[in-house]
Amino acid sequence: MLSRRRCLLTPLLGAAGALHRPALALAQAPARRVVAVGGALTETVYALGAQADLVGVDTTSLYPAAAQQLPSVGYARSLSAEGVLSLKPTLIIASGEAGPPAVLRQLQGAGVPLVTLDAAHRAEQVWARTQRLGTLLGREAAGEALAARLQREWQAAMARVQGLQAPAAARRPPRVLFLLSHAMNQVRIAGRDTAADAMIRYAGATNALGEVAGFKPLTPEAAIAAAPDLILGTEQGLAAAGGIDGLLAAPGLAATPAGRARRVVALEAMFLLGFGPRLPQAVVQLAEALHGPARG
């Protein structure tokens, strides 16, 4: 009888083991080890709730503050293959600015999946990148939900911008000159096809250098010809200049309408230019500064 019972139980136990093996394999699947190169990408990983997967970030990953506690792989444009690979990543997600190209080829040659995600300075690309990140991180539902939330916030942001513009309908939009000035001996001004240009336009203003593509060095002639009503920069750049007085000491700026009125607005660099999950809030904050009562 005992022998017969064992014979009956053996296939059942085997079947039970077979049922549990996939679950066991799933439980033992290796955790993702993600390196994020680009502050907006890091922000999005946190917004998706996938921060536990992060093992390294670049120096532009300043938000949220917890990201600054992670190992750094250095500046996005000057990565070291050895530094990145030392973190044993299973996935590298990078912005379009990541480089140099030779290092990216080394990383790919090492067999680590490397995915480049670029927002192209358009709001709709931010939603698409959010969903793509959700897929890459195994959080498709979270990616779709976050993208939908951001679109709703964007609609509200655009309504707010229109509301700010309405009282000023009889006057022209403010002319804004963006300065990239993290080193005062290398000040550049932003034309079209830049993140700064897109933000200025989304905020309902005019880029004072909109006829020029990309960045160009600041010269007295360029500043005076631009005739900005307001100078826009980053908090990091304003700090590097030593405040508004130091910034306006740059070539030609003091002679512009913005310089004479001391109209300078500065926002945190990644908040202003990152095109990450805080884009709707950044556009509203910029629009409120540009269309404020101080503009005549």
Average pLDDT over residues 165-174: 73
Please give the class, per CATH, of domain 34-118. alpha beta
Average pLDDT over residues 174-188: 85
34-118 shares its CATH topology with 172-290: yes
pLDDT of amino acid 172: 83
pLDDT of amino acid 1: 45
- pLDDT tens per residue across span 192-210: 999 999 999 999 999 999 9
- pLDDT tens per residue across span 207-229: 999 999 999 999 999 999 999 99
Strands 264-267 and 230-234: parallel
Q: The whole model's pTM is what?
A: 0.85
- pLDDT tens per residue across span 40-61: 999 999 999 999 999 999 999 9
User: For the residues of the chain, what is the DSSP string, one character each?
Assistant: -HHHHHHHHHHHHHHHHHHHHHHHHHHTSPPP-EEEESHHHHHHHHHTT-GGGEEEE-TT--SSGGGGGSPB---GGG--HHHHHTT--SEEEE-TT---HHHHHHHHHTT--EEE---TT-HHHHHHHHHHHHHHTT-HHHHHHHHHHHHHHHHHHHHHHHHHHGGGTTSPPPEEEEEE-SSGGG-EEE-BSSHHHHHHHHTT-EETTTTSBSEEE--HHHHHHH--SEEEEEHHHHHHHTSHHHHHTSTTGGGSHHHHHT-EEEE-HHHHHS-STTHHHHHHHHHHHHTSTT--
Query: Does residue 22 surpass a pLDDT of 70?
Result: no
Please give the class, per CATH, of domain 172-290. alpha beta
Ordered by start, the domain boundaries in the chain are 34-118, 172-290
Average pLDDT over residues 264-283: 96
| Packing angle of the helix pair 279-290, 195-202 (nearest 10 deg) | 70
Average pLDDT over residues 5-29: 43
pLDDT of amino acid 152: 98
pLDDT tier at 11, thresholds 50, 70, 90: very low
Buried b (16+ CB within 10 A) or exposed e, 33-60: bbbbbbbbbbbbbbbbebbebbbbbbeb
Residue percentage of the chain with pLDDT more than 70: 85
